Structure 1
């Protein structure tokens, strides 16, 4: 429930910042400056019926966030038609006349309705759009009202009548009511009866509030400068209190998630509970003292070093026995989502303001600036956020990468490399060619390479294999990086807020803020360049497709405006294909690599009555490079459980035989049922041999993609493959 509330807060956050850019910097400030509005794309703001009317300029700027909401609504509707509307084969739909979140279904992935969540996604989508429209109406009404009362250096032209007061109060109260009801509407996991129409019902008053705010903006009188031919640069009046209240709600929604997680942790019976509470209390005290350290010279360097040491210590202590994300995954992921969205949008704010004119970090300039100047006033806190909150994750990523690079380098030293050489030497077969054409990369006698024919590449081969195995262990350390980014980000945010409330803001150097916003602006640009490269290069497009599949596996049960879940179609279509083959009398071999193994597990693990699923269907399942335990059990332990694994076993589920192949060098896949050799898991050597034809390259490391060319694996699959008759 709290995750859904936080997801709604993320939508509100994005609408808030996009609206601030368009309504304040473009519409209000630049649109009211003759020199700033001289560009061709600013021509609507130069019209006589708009230029002297701040309310109309604000309303014109509000078209941008309104179009964004319309675009999101259209994309959500179209993707729901293409993905969520695909019904599982033979599934008559929910057993009860209700709309339910997939995350709350009994049995998780095994529930027949897990991939039938279109109604709930549509319900949440309408609520998010209604909340975005309500926030936009609130911002228009509040800022237009603010220009009438508190615009520095401006006054109302005589002979103009004001808009009725009820337009302002009506739009504000309706918008606030819609936002409150929207928060309450995302709480239930099961929506019964007339409540299914609540999202659509909320959209009506949200549009009404938007119309009232628009009417108020159109009826606002013209404004003129107190000093002719001069202007006082200032932020849009009324915007600051809206942002304070909205961000206050966002922080509360976000921090309620760890509160819930702590309460759940305290409810569990563990013998070390007292020790854990003492450690948490000590960490909080340490964070408090860190706030004082930050203010000292090179304070952030000290904090970064402390975090780096903490990352290394926790990583070393937990190495080899990690089974799941260490703690607080929902809070960590949500916070990173907020941080990334705000980082990109804050960078956009500064870049837009810098493009329109010269940035002045102030609420309102103390002296008028000649009309020939193109000054854009920007909230001072944006400078701090751009400088600190952007560099903080970059520094921590570099620290984390440096630590992992040291681990990788040490894995190639003589002792680990010798262990690899000994392992392959024990399994090495006699050289098949006595003429010397076939060579070996490991010791032949006594543990040393033959100096007469061993090349540097051959000498480095055991170290390369050892380093590849070390790389395979690294992905599950990412939670250390994510957690450190969140903890230091919260600490930094608290430090900034402390100085803001004390009116003692430590201004960073201008070049630091400029570089930080440049980095933030490059993030969406990098995404666009990657998409363009994928359009031109099939290999890049394949990589993008894999990342998209992994990132959009789960149903949209929390944020309905996120990219569509491709598994909403892939899983039912895979089931329908297998059921068709079975009903046609065919025998089925399902070979699944990487993410395909997750699709196979989702498709085969669903249980149901005979009238829903074909009776007697048995599938030979071969998975290789499967992230089922290594990553999915690590990140989603509530869904990838022992029960799910047991349901796939031949004696329990729809499989007649199941083999899972994995390499120790695979950074994605691994064992599933039990570490080591068993009836399901089959560890393959990688590289498969240490021998090669002298003069060629030494045996290649397959890692995650080498399964397709591994003859040993395909020989095993040939043995278990179903045969006619």
Structure 2
């Protein structure tokens, strides 16, 4: 049993890590938590202190079912879009409230977008068109009206499954109570808390997810009732359509109100359910038409399309109006507020990310519709022409943008090893080599220099120069991550083009696309569902594959589901309270805690301490993306003022780390050389870059941690 009163608590980063790897030994036991996320303690001390590990990878990548979260990718983007608020917008009370409302409405637009695709596939293509041509099977024996109702039942089932998944995830993650459960609850979402991430209730989003989930179900059912009423037509059908439209509008208004209570949410779902049943009964007895498509389905699809446009793009006129009021002197706005600065600005980030969610769901959805129609041997016009003719824009144009972006980044990477950069690298490592003491015999005889020095042959010089260039390129590559904003901005014209072309298509004013482009787009669209199934199969059967996919969820599902309830669950809702409770237990047991965290784990650890009262442990982070990525993408919530709340902190970073970096505090940041020197042992490879994953084996960092734990703690600052 360990006797040390210093406990080193390790937290892994993206992709997860087994306790054996995190603790560096197989001799350990689980002391807290469960199979999804738990704490493990090594049986023997290491470097003179107890060692524990918090393994939270089971929340994102360990289970086979996590791979199904790929299907929720557009919803994840919709939720992230709300968190990419600028610091200036947050400082303006009106603009910030409008931003949150628009974020929730955009998330609803993406949900309705999915339901529209499901309706086109289930009601129009499968139930009406295929069922009308085939006399075999249960669907072929039904009349057109009942077939439409059966297709609508499939759409309702999709919505119900999404709600059930959200409810199950909420019970597993969001229902975990925070460390201070007796604190008076905040009526709104975590996104609107006055103290932001520092508020102890920030990761307490159960009520928000439950309320938003019911609102999305109510709005989705109201929309489905509207579609059924339009399809069934007739006087009673028109009355049902008006009622469904009013109910849908009411649900949109309630959703815009952040703190809408159960008094409005639950009755909305009940009324929407009754209205769907009434519309289904009327559609069962109706004749939806004898044309290729269900009667009025084109009208319903185009109307829904414009509703989605208004919900997703509505933030533009709202925020412009608020800005004009501020310029006109009617309101002051954020003029007197202290606004944190960011090194890399990303204008229109919420709109860009939300538009990317719409683009992704329509690319995958339209590809699925084309595949379904081809598999059922239906004609080319089985998919509504107003949507079908957008395939080249939705499929080929994004591929071209991605290709151009990667080409530009590749050119920048190649040009990074210019003379100035290589000269800087050579001077740096030459100075480091000169300061390094000579090793004792026989080490000196085996030590080689990777730098291109005088007196070597041309071939050896080229090999050593290649090593220098690799370091220069590695450092350049480390700054490429925020360039993703250029790729996303490049996709925005595609969204705008589709918004223009679809209404023109409705009026019959567009020229037919080039046959080559159209055929290629159809082929690629057919491959998208196949690739999706292959991806799911790959991740389902292989744990290492799920770890790669889990990297996406580690980053994209960190934030609470304050905007889209059907997004993958927020693991921080459980991980942060887990860390806080364990730290408090160790403090109460008389242990000094040193919290050692890597990559995404450093985000969890830092924000856990930001909310922690007096007695917080010493924090050690490495590969920390708080400033480099989070401060850039989410400046309203992660900024210097927040990070200044952590007192005892050391943050280690490499210049070649493409994810982590300094946090901007001189007394905190420690830059580690990468590689440590240009010397290497003869016969072994030249020193390689550690980049983002080499911290755990860096002895220089661990010596600094040893020194830090040996220092006496500073006296606490009075509250």
TM-score, with structure 1 as normaliser: 0.78
Unaligned segments of structure 2, at least 5 residues: 1-100, 328-340, 714-719
Q: Which residue of 1 aligns with 2:97?
A: none
Q: Secondary structure at the match of 1:473?
A: coil
C-alpha distance in 1 between matches for 2:491 and 2:252: 28
Does the Cα contact within 8 Å between 1:472 and 1:666 map onto a contact in 2?
Answer: yes
Q: Which residue of 2 aligns with 1:628?
A: 626
Does the Cα contact within 8 Å between 2:231 and 2:296 map onto a contact in 1?
Answer: yes
C-alpha distance in 2 between matches for 1:264 and 1:595: 36
1:119 alignment partner, one of 184, 207, 211? 207
Q: Does 1:337 align with 2:437?
A: no
C-alpha distance in 1 between matches for 2:710 and 2:549: 34
Q: Secondary structure at the match of 1:186?
A: helix
Does the Cα contact within 8 Å between 1:19 and 1:62 map onto a contact in 2?
Answer: yes
Per-residue displacement from partner, 1:76-101 (whole Å, max 9, x unpaired)? 111111111100123214346xx311
User: Displacement of 1:416 after TM fit?
Assistant: 2.1
Q: Which residue of 1 aligns with 2:486?
A: 480
Q: 1:390 to 1:465 in 2, by over 3 A?
A: same
C-alpha distance in 1 between matches for 2:376 and 2:267: 40
Q: Secondary structure at the match of 1:237?
A: coil
User: Displacement of 1:502 after TM fit?
Assistant: 5.1
Q: Does 1:697 align with 2:685?
A: yes
Q: Which residue of 1 aligns with 2:182?
A: 92
Q: Secondary structure at the match of 1:454?
A: helix
User: Displacement of 1:687 after TM fit?
Assistant: 1.2
Higher RCO (C-alpha under 8 Å, 6+ residues apart): 2
C-alpha distance in 2 between matches for 1:12 and 1:332: 19
C-alpha distance in 2 between matches for 1:696 and 1:704: 22
User: Displacement of 1:443 after TM fit?
Assistant: 3.6
Q: Which residue of 2 aligns with 1:11?
A: 111
C-alpha distance in 2 between matches for 1:76 and 1:564: 8
C-alpha distance in 2 between matches for 1:721 and 1:514: 65
Does the Cα contact within 8 Å between 1:431 and 1:439 map onto a contact in 2?
Answer: no
C-alpha distance in 2 between matches for 1:178 and 1:330: 28
TM-score, with structure 2 as normaliser: 0.79
Q: 1:449 to 1:476 in 2, by over 3 A?
A: farther
Q: Secondary structure at the match of 1:555?
A: coil
Q: 1:267 to 1:673 in 2, by over 3 A?
A: farther
Q: Does 1:25 align with 2:153?
A: no
| Alignment map for 1:64-463 (pairs within 5 Å) | 64-95=154-185, 99-145=187-233, 165-166=235-236, 168-191=237-260, 195-220=261-286, 234-263=292-321, 323-361=343-381, 377-428=382-433, 429=436, 432=439, 436-444=445-453, 448=454, 450-451=456-457, 454=460, 457-463=463-469
| Alignment map for 1:574-723 (pairs within 5 Å) | 574-606=579-611, 613=613, 616-648=614-646, 650=647, 657-674=648-665, 678-721=666-709
Q: Secondary structure at the match of 2:513?
A: coil
Q: Secondary structure at the match of 1:32?
A: helix
Does the Cα contact within 8 Å between 1:261 and 1:328 map onto a contact in 2?
Answer: no
Q: Which residue of 2 aligns with 1:465?
A: 471
Does the Cα contact within 8 Å between 1:5 and 1:253 map onto a contact in 2?
Answer: yes
Q: Does 1:519 align with 2:521?
A: no
Q: Which residue of 1 aligns with 2:46?
A: none
Q: 1:723 to 1:577 in 2, by over 3 A?
A: farther
User: Displacement of 1:593 after TM fit?
Assistant: 0.7
Q: Secondary structure at the match of 2:380?
A: strand
User: Displacement of 1:580 after TM fit?
Assistant: 1.1
Q: 1:16 to 1:536 in 2, by over 3 A?
A: closer
Does the Cα contact within 8 Å between 2:231 and 2:283 map onto a contact in 1?
Answer: no
Per-residue displacement from partner, 1:523-570 (whole Å, max 9, x unpaired)? 454454344434444433322223212110001000111111111111
Q: 1:222 to 1:347 in 2, by over 3 A?
A: closer
C-alpha distance in 2 between matches for 1:663 and 1:724: 27
User: Displacement of 1:498 after TM fit?
Assistant: 6.3
Does the Cα contact within 8 Å between 1:421 and 1:462 map onto a contact in 2?
Answer: yes
Per-residue displacement from partner, 1:99-147 (whole Å, max 9, x unpaired)? 31111111100112111121121111101011111111221221132xx
Q: Which residue of 2 aligns with 1:44?
A: 138
2:148 alignment partner, one of 40, 54, 58? 58
Q: Secondary structure at the match of 1:75?
A: helix
Q: Secondary structure at the match of 2:594?
A: strand
Q: Secondary structure at the match of 1:622?
A: strand
Q: 1:605 to 1:56 in 2, by over 3 A?
A: same
C-alpha distance in 1 between matches for 2:502 and 2:548: 41
C-alpha distance in 1 between matches for 2:450 and 2:393: 50
Does the Cα contact within 8 Å between 2:367 and 2:526 map onto a contact in 1?
Answer: yes
Q: Secondary structure at the match of 1:592?
A: strand
C-alpha distance in 2 between matches for 1:471 and 1:449: 32
87-96 vs 546-555, which moves further: 87-96
Q: Secondary structure at the match of 2:619?
A: strand
Per-residue displacement from partner, 1:149-198 (whole Å, max 9, x unpaired)? xxxxxxxxxxxxxxxx43x244323321221111011112223xxx3232
Q: Secondary structure at the match of 2:403?
A: helix
Q: Which residue of 1 aligns with 2:498?
A: 493
Does the Cα contact within 8 Å between 1:663 and 1:683 map onto a contact in 2?
Answer: yes
Does the Cα contact within 8 Å between 1:325 and 1:479 map onto a contact in 2?
Answer: no
Per-residue displacement from partner, 1:422-446 (whole Å, max 9, x unpaired)? 21111113653686421111144xx
C-alpha distance in 1 between matches for 2:383 and 2:452: 67
User: Displacement of 1:237 after TM fit?
Assistant: 1.2
Q: Does 1:565 align with 2:570?
A: yes
User: Displacement of 1:584 after TM fit?
Assistant: 1.4
C-alpha distance in 2 between matches for 1:476 and 1:27: 46
Does the Cα contact within 8 Å between 1:123 and 1:197 map onto a contact in 2?
Answer: no
Does the Cα contact within 8 Å between 1:83 and 1:564 map onto a contact in 2?
Answer: yes
C-alpha distance in 1 between matches for 2:288 and 2:607: 62
Does the Cα contact within 8 Å between 1:400 and 1:481 map onto a contact in 2?
Answer: yes
C-alpha distance in 1 between matches for 2:126 and 2:357: 26
Aligned length: 597
Does the Cα contact within 8 Å between 2:128 and 2:148 map onto a contact in 1?
Answer: yes
Q: 1:601 to 1:393 in 2, by over 3 A?
A: same
User: Displacement of 1:384 after TM fit?
Assistant: 2.4
Does the Cα contact within 8 Å between 1:7 and 1:558 map onto a contact in 2?
Answer: yes
Unaligned segments of structure 1, at least 5 residues: 149-164, 224-231, 270-320, 362-376, 608-612, 651-656
Q: Which residue of 2 aligns with 1:227?
A: none
Does the Cα contact within 8 Å between 2:652 and 2:662 map onto a contact in 1?
Answer: yes
C-alpha distance in 1 between matches for 2:108 and 2:326: 29
Q: Secondary structure at the match of 2:146?
A: helix
Q: Secondary structure at the match of 1:9?
A: helix
User: Displacement of 1:9 after TM fit?
Assistant: 1.2
C-alpha distance in 2 between matches for 1:722 and 1:528: 53
